[in-house]
Each structure stands twice: as structure tokens, then as C-alpha cells.
Amino acid sequence: MVMNDYKVCFESRQASLLGRKEVLTGKAKFGIFGDGKELPQVAMAKAFREGDFRSGYYRDQTFMMASGLHTVQEFFAQLYANTSVEAEPASAGRMMNGHFATRTLNEDGTWKELKKLKNSSADISPTAGQMLRLVGLAHASKYYRDNRELIGENLFSENGNEIAWGTIGNASTSEGHFFEAINAAGVLKVPMIISVWDDEYGISVHAKYQTTKQNISEILKGFELNDKGEGFNIYRVNGWDYPELVRVYEAAEKEAREKHIPAIVHVKELTQPQGHSTSGSHERYKSKERLQWELENDCVLKFRQWILSSGLTTEQELNRLEEDAKIFVNVAKKSAWENYLAPIKNDIAEACVMMEQLASVSANGENIRKLAADLRKITEPVRKDMMVAMDKALRISYGENHIYRNELIEFRQQQIETNKERYSSYLYSNSAASAIKATEVNPEYSEESKTVDGREIMQAFFDKVLEKDPRVFAFGEDVGKIGDVNQGFAGLQEKYGETRVFDTGIRELTIIGQGLGAAMRGLRPIAEIQYLDYLLYALQPLSDDLATLQYRTKGGQKAPLIVRTRGHRLEGIWHSGSPMGMILNSLRGMYILTPRNMTQAAGFYNTMLKSDEPALIIECLNGYRLKEKMPDNLGEYTVIPGKPEVLRTGTDVTIITYGSSCRIAEEAALHLAEMNVHCELIDVQSLLPFDTGHSIVESLKKTNKVIFLDEDVQGGASAFMMQQVLEIQNGYKWLDCAPRTLTAKDHRPAYATDGDYFSKSNAEQLVELVMDMMHEQNPLQFPRFI
Ligand SMILES: Cc1ncc(C[n+]2csc(CCOP(=O)(O)OP(=O)(O)O)c2C)c(N)n1
Ligand SMILES: [Mg+2]
């Protein structure tokens, strides 16, 4: 066992050393390695079991190797950014090296039996970002333990015995994310073990600029376990001390697994033998004394000394093991490189043949032949070299009409398609459970259908969902006891218990993380952000983590989290926002759904809960008390994302909008009808995806005039909708006059009621704008309105 640990450490170190060389010789672009952190990671791996999850960062290669989740060959494949899932299963070349992930999904997007596997959630680069989903991965264990309905028959948990293992660098603990996650896990009492790899530096910045008292476990003392069982087990251990590391991880594991007591393991006195990354050298900022100290206290060296002094083996045996390990790593590196290069060279060989064929008939054959010859000469080519050469050949032969030129164009097109799959696939789910493939079921009404407040529809819907599906739970600020600030969950905590519907602290980052991690373990969380304006706090994990998850693992992982919030049309700088442009631009990879009322909202929740994709659903803040008819088939009917609805037909102007602005548009349309101007009003319903069937352009064919309306700033969601309709759907062809947008002002709306009127788009402005367009098109029939 000990010798195997040493072997893993040594191989991992060897991989780091060779990895750096690969960057310096230009075979890889960049490298960040786990050298100097090997020993605690083999100790941690000993306590890591099937069903457990890691949520860590770029130093963890040794842990991954020791857990059997990452081979040395895969290490090099990622360094070279091999785009094949088989060669580089973490991300298929989409993430830089040191970003680890296991594949939690089968090829068809369904879950593997994760309780039988050791799992790693997919890393992200933003420091401390991994702490948020860690809370959710740990919370899932608590949920599986507490929710008796799920026991036994799931793919994810054995009685909630799984631990979520976090790792973080000492300097990254300066982030608010870290402190928020620690506090949340302490409150939740979840099985989460955080290891801090402390090497005293964060790139060049020393601990004295990072951490009060330069000691993270010292300042976390207030979180230490008390006699009521609240808080964390806090351990401090030197990173070069093998027996102590093994003992600490065993102790932490036992308490976390059995009693769900979280732990912080502060691993001190670690080093960086090769500095932070390949981007610079640590000699620039570390003193001679520090560099000397690091040499002497290198954890692999100390491990070696300890093995020898304990008499576990002889120097000779160790030397032999090391020689074998060096050969092993070298061979793995070589075959990773050959695997990476072979398919590229094949494509290039084909391209060269095509170009040479063209050269044989072209007037500029000489130049084209030279292009092919130069391309063949590149010893370490990338596909871009081939694409650029082919484009040049096509430029040189421009205007010539040969079959070989057409064949080259066709080959180039095939390459573009293949590379789309390589580089642009899996932004959304490809599986059978993709939300856009959902079956449409319309709401049904009968004579008995009652007219109620919108909020009552939400409440009745959530009741149905909680009853039907034990994997669903809802949480957020004020969601538990009072059932959210607008009573969507009123009475449901009493009915379903605190496991299913519960309050959280005011901590938007970890609300998202909690949902994200739980969704990665087969649960169906509905995480609430109280108001759309506060989504800014939650944006980082949504954008960097949730929205990129399927993409960055090329379909290897998913987290079908539903984020619930409410926005638009209230008053004040922080209670009326509609920053849809910001959301649209940062959350590609998620569904952005903007239902105009609660009936549509419930339909969207239903669709998303049946799907395997993440969504942000924005309810209308001013819609909870508006009257709607309660559908009879609540919990059955669906609203399909990407399918606009025509709310009113007309022949004069098309108004395209969503959410609360639908009501503004309806009001304006009524006024305009009295002036004999007939608007066609379209609710796009979902911004992402946007009108997948290109139906909106059909309206433009009829009206030849279009307005994009919302209450975002200028150039926000209105610009997005305009681009989709005018460019993607070729809507510009059908316009008789300039397209318009009507948006809010660029400043946030003032609190005063009049401030709101004068800051946001409203029905009066819309009437004016429509009349302006009517006048522009036909001044005789429609004289200037104002
Ligand atoms: C949010 C964010 N800010 C800055 C960076 C750039 N960055 C990458 S690593 C790093 C230092 C991290 O130091 P530490 O947490 O101690 O980990 P170590 O590399 O020392 O193991 C910084 C500043 C980043 N990735 N993310
Ligand atoms: Mg550090």
C-alpha cells in the first residue's frame, strides 16, 4: 500500500516535470501542475469511496490518479488538448490541463449508477468557484438520508453515506465564495470535507496579503465543532507527513460519513517545485531561503526519506521503482502525443491530396502545390494550418471552374461540420430528455374552472409536483416557513416537511451551488433567487459553472437545476430590474424562460422538470395578484420553450415582447385598435431558446413593420430579439420601414411611481411609436399623431 502510494506520487511528479517540458518545447500551450501537492492527495484518496464526489481545482492530478480516475496518458492527452472523449474524457479538449471530471452520464445522456463509481464534478478555473457546488454535492447526501421515499431505489446514494470532497488553494480561501460555503455547510450539517492545499502563495502573492494571521485554520476557529455537534472538525497537518495525513483523513472521513459532520483539513508546508504554472518562474518572487526550504521539504522527497527510515524497503528497491515509473510516464506521454497527432495528420494528408489535384488543373498550380508541400512539412501541425492553406488555395484559384476546386470546397465544408461537433456541440442537451423535444400538452379548462390569483396557480402546481416526485425540493430565502415572499409554496413545508421545502440564509452564491451540486446527483432542486435584481450575486456560478457544464464536459455531466426568480415591473433601483441582456449574454447553455403569467410559468416548470436541462424561470413580479383561470390539468400540461405565442392578430404592426411587457403591449393594442391600427402581438415566451420554428417572420410578411419591446436597457434583450428575427429569420426582407425598439432608459428606474413611468417603456410610448411608424409608411392616411 505505502509503496503503491509512493509510486503514484512519483509518477505524478514525473508527469508534472515532463508536462512542463512539453510546454517549453511548444507541444502544449500552457501547463499547470500538481507538483508539490502529491502526498496529501494520496492520503485523501484512501478515504474516497464509491458514490463520493470531488469538487476541486487544478492541483489535484495525484488525487485523481490515486483514485483511478485519471491515467497518466489522459494527463498528457489533456495537456495536448486532444478533442476525443475517449482520449480526454474530462473535457475532450475543451478545458485547459488540470481541469478534471469523470463522466457521470452514459453516451445517450442518461445517468450512470453513480453510487457505484468514484466521481469528480467538472472543474472550473475561477478560484473558489468549486466551493459552491461542493455544498450541493454534500447536501444531496443529507437529502438522500432524510427523504425516506428515495431510499434504496436510486442510482446515486446508499443511505446518504457519500462524502463531498473539496480542495482549494490557500490563497483562494480569500474569496467570499469560500467563507459563504463554509458557513452554509455548517448550518446545513452536511458531509463535506474541505482540504486547503497551503503553499503560502497565490501565484506571486504571499499569505500575508491573503489571510488574516496568515493562517486559514486559525481564523476559522469559530467554526470548530462544539459539544452540541454544531460546526466543523478542523485538522491541521503538514503536507509532507505521510502517517499523520493518513490518520487525519481517516478520522475526518469517519465523522463525515457516519455522522455527517463536515471537516476542514488545513494541509500546511506544501511547495511548488516548478512554480505556479508554465507562465512564469517563482524565482522572481520567492526568496533564496524560501526556495531552499521548498527543496528540502518537498513532500515526495520527505515521503521517500520516511519510507527508508521506517525500513519499509531498500534504497535499491526505491531506485528501481523510480526508474520503472520514469519509463512508464515517458511511454504514456509518447502514446498520448501520437494519438493526438495521428488524426490531424490524416486530415492534413487528405487536404494535401485535394490541393494537389487542384494544382494539377489550376492556372496557379505552382503556388497551390507549394501550399500543399509547406503544409506537409509542418511537424506539429494543427487543423487551423490546414484550413488556412485550403482557404488560400481557394483564393488563388478564385474564378476557376474545375471539379477539383469544387471537391476542395466540399472537403473544407466537411471539415467545418466535423469541427462544429468537436468544438461547438453539447451547449445544450442532445438527449431524448432535452426540453425542446418535450411533448406539448395544452392547459384544459371546464365550466368548473375557477378564476384565482396567479399565485394560487403556482402554489397548486408546486403542490402537485412535490406530491408526484420525491426528487423535487424547493429552497431559498423565505421559501420554507412562509412559502416564499409571494406564497408560491404557502403551506407546502407543513405538508411535505423541511427536507422538501426549506429556508436558507441570505447567500445567493451557495443557493445556486446547493442546487447545482444536488442536481449533479440526480435530484431535482428548485433554487429560488428572491428577486431578479439579486441574480447578479448568483451570476458567477450560473455563468461559469452551470451554463457551461454540458459543454465543458462534452456531454459527460449534467445538472438539471431550475432557478426560480421573479422580476420586471415593480418600482425602484433594486426591485424592478430586467437585466435580460446581461442574462442572455452570460447564460448561454441554460434555458431562459420568461412566462407572461403564472399559467405559462407552471407549464414551463413542468416541461423543465421532465427534461434534463438547467433553466432560469423568471416570473412576473406584478402577476401574483392578477386573476387567471386555474387549469384543470395542472401538473400535466406543458409549455414548450422556443415556441412563441400570438396573443393578438393584426395586419399593421408586429409587436414582439415577453413577460410583463405583454400586458403593456396588450393595453397599447387596445388603444391602437380604437384608432383603427391593428397590431399583431407576439409573446416570444422564452428568450433561450428563441423561436426555434422561425414563426415570427411569418407575422412580418403580413405587417411589414416590427417593434421589439421590453424593459431592459437599450441594446439589451431587444437587440437580441432583433438580431434573431431580422438576421437569423431574414425578417429584414419584409420590412417597409425601419425596425424599432422600445426599451427602458439606460439608468435603473427611480423608486417614485412617476419615476417608474418615466424610466420604463409604457403603453403610451408604444402607441406613439406605432403611430409614428404608420405615419412613416402612409402619411396621408395616418397624419402625425403627436
Ligand atoms: C476568480 C479568479 N481570480 C483570479 C484567478 C487567477 N488565478 C489563478 S490561480 C490563482 C492563485 C491561486 O492560489 P492558491 O489558491 O493558493 O492555489 P495554488 O495555485 O497556490 O495551489 C489566481 C489568482 C482565477 N483563476 N480566478
Ligand atoms: Mg497557494
DSSP letters of 21-57?
Answer: HHHHTTSSS-----TT-HHHHHHHHHT--TT-EEE--
Which residues lie across from 525 on neighbouring strands?
A: 473
Cell of 280: 512564469
Mutate-to-test residue for ligand 1 from 57, 203, 215, 278, highest number of ligand atoms within 8 A of CB? 203
H or E stretch covering 754? helix 753-759
Contact 640, 611 (CB under 8 A): no
Pick the catalytic residue from 575, 671, 678, 775: 575
What does the DSSP 8-state code read for residue 732?
Answer: G
Q: Is 59 a pocket residue for ligand 1 (Cβ < 6 Å)?
A: yes
The pLDDT of residue 785 is above 90: yes
pLDDT digits (tens, 9 = 90+) for 664-692: 999 999 999 999 999 999 999 999 999 99
Contact 178, 510 (CB under 8 A): no
Give the number of the ligand closest to the Cα of residue 178: 1
Atom of ligand 1 nearest to the CA of 276: 19
Q: Centre a 10 Å sphere on the Cβ of residue 678 and count the other Cβ atoms it contains.
A: 15
Rounded CA gap, 76 and 30, in Å? Answer: 12
What pLDDT is attached to residue 570? 77
The stretch 266-270 carries a mean pLDDT of: 98
Q: Is 749 a pocket residue for ligand 1 (Cβ < 6 Å)?
A: no
Residue nearest to atom 1 of ligand 1 (CA): 126
Which residues lie across from 618 on neighbouring strands?
A: 565
Cell of 602: 407552471
Cα distances (angstroms) measured from residue 432 to each of 435, 469, 691: 9, 20, 20
By CB neighbour count within 10 A (0-12 exposed, 13-18 middle, 19+ buried), where does 2 fall?
Answer: middle
Mutate-to-test residue for ligand 1 from 59, 60, 127, highest number of ligand atoms within 8 A of CB? 127
Atom of ligand 1 nearest to the CA of 169: 15
Cα 248 to middle of ligand 2, angstroms = 21
pLDDT digits (tens, 9 = 90+) for 768-778: 999 999 999 99
Residue nearest to atom 8 of ligand 1 (CA): 127
Active site residue 282: no
Q: What is the DSSP string of 486-506?
A: T-TTTTHHHHH-TTTEEE--S
H or E stretch covering 593? strand 591-593
Q: How confident is the model at residue 661 (pLDDT cuts 50, 70, 90)?
A: very high
The stretch 157-171 carries a mean pLDDT of: 98
Cα 173 to middle of ligand 1, angstroms = 10
Q: Is the peptide bond before 40 cis (omega within 30 degrees of 0)?
A: no
What does the DSSP 8-state code read for residue 111?
Answer: B
Rounded CA gap, 13 and 33, in Å? Answer: 9
C-alpha 775, offset from chain centre: 47
Q: Is 637 a pocket residue for ligand 1 (Cβ < 6 Å)?
A: no
Atom of ligand 1 nearest to the CA of 173: 15
Q: Centre a 10 Å sphere on the Cβ of residue 704 and count the other Cβ atoms it contains.
A: 18
Q: Centre a 10 Å sphere on the Cβ of residue 180 and count the other Cβ atoms it contains.
A: 23
Cα 685 to middle of ligand 1, angstroms = 40
Helix residue spans in 204-287 (DSSP H): 216-219, 242-259
Q: Is 53 a pocket residue for ligand 1 (Cβ < 6 Å)?
A: no
Cα 528 to middle of ligand 2, angstroms = 34
The pLDDT of residue 151 is above 90: no
Q: How confident is the model at residue 572 (pLDDT cuts 50, 70, 90)?
A: confident
Q: What percent of the chain has pLDDT over 90?
A: 97
What pLDDT is attached to residue 231? 98
The helix/strand/coil state of 472 is: strand
Cell of 684: 416570444
Rounded CA gap, 192 and 190, in Å? Answer: 6
Residue nearest to atom 13 of ligand 1 (CA): 202
User: Which residues are CB-contacts of 342 (< 8 A; sequence separation ≥ 6)?
Assistant: none
Residue nearest to atom 7 of ligand 1 (CA): 127
Cell of 480: 420554507
Q: What is the DSSP string of 125-173?
A: SSTTTHHHHHHHHHHHHHHHHH-GGGSSS-SS-STT---EEEEEETGGG
**For the stretch 193-204, what's the b/e string if a residue is b when 16 or more beta carbons lie within 10 angstroms of its beta carbon?**
bbbbbbbbbbee
Cα 165 to middle of ligand 2, angstroms = 18
Residue nearest to atom 25 of ligand 1 (CA): 126
Atom of ligand 1 nearest to the CA of 203: 11
Give the number of the ligand closest to the Cα of residue 59: 1
Residue nearest to atom 26 of ligand 1 (CA): 126
Cell of 549: 457544464
State the residue for C-alpha cell 402619411: 779
State the residue for C-alpha cell 476557376: 400
pLDDT digits (tens, 9 = 90+) for 438-489: 999 999 999 999 999 999 999 999 999 999 999 999 999 999 999 999 999 9
The stretch 715-739 carries a mean pLDDT of: 97
Q: How confident is the model at residue 695 (pLDDT cuts 50, 70, 90)?
A: very high
The pLDDT of residue 201 is above 80: yes
The stretch 399-420 carries a mean pLDDT of: 97
Helices then strands (H, E): number in the chain? 26, 22
CA atoms within 13 A on the CB side of 381: 24
Rounded CA gap, 521 and 443, in Å? Answer: 32
The pLDDT of residue 569 is above 80: no
Cα 544 to middle of ligand 1, angstroms = 15
Q: How confident is the model at residue 331 (pLDDT cuts 50, 70, 90)?
A: very high
Q: Is 197 a pocket residue for ligand 1 (Cβ < 6 Å)?
A: yes
Rounded CA gap, 401 and 362, in Å? Answer: 9
What pLDDT is attached to residue 571? 81
Contact 643, 595 (CB under 8 A): no
pLDDT digits (tens, 9 = 90+) for 39-70: 999 999 999 999 999 999 999 999 999 999 99
State the residue for C-alpha cell 471552374: 401
Q: What is the CA radius of gyration of the chain?
A: 30
Cα 63 to middle of ligand 2, angstroms = 17
- Range in 135-149, 191-205, 456-470, 573-587 with the lowest mean pLDDT: 573-587
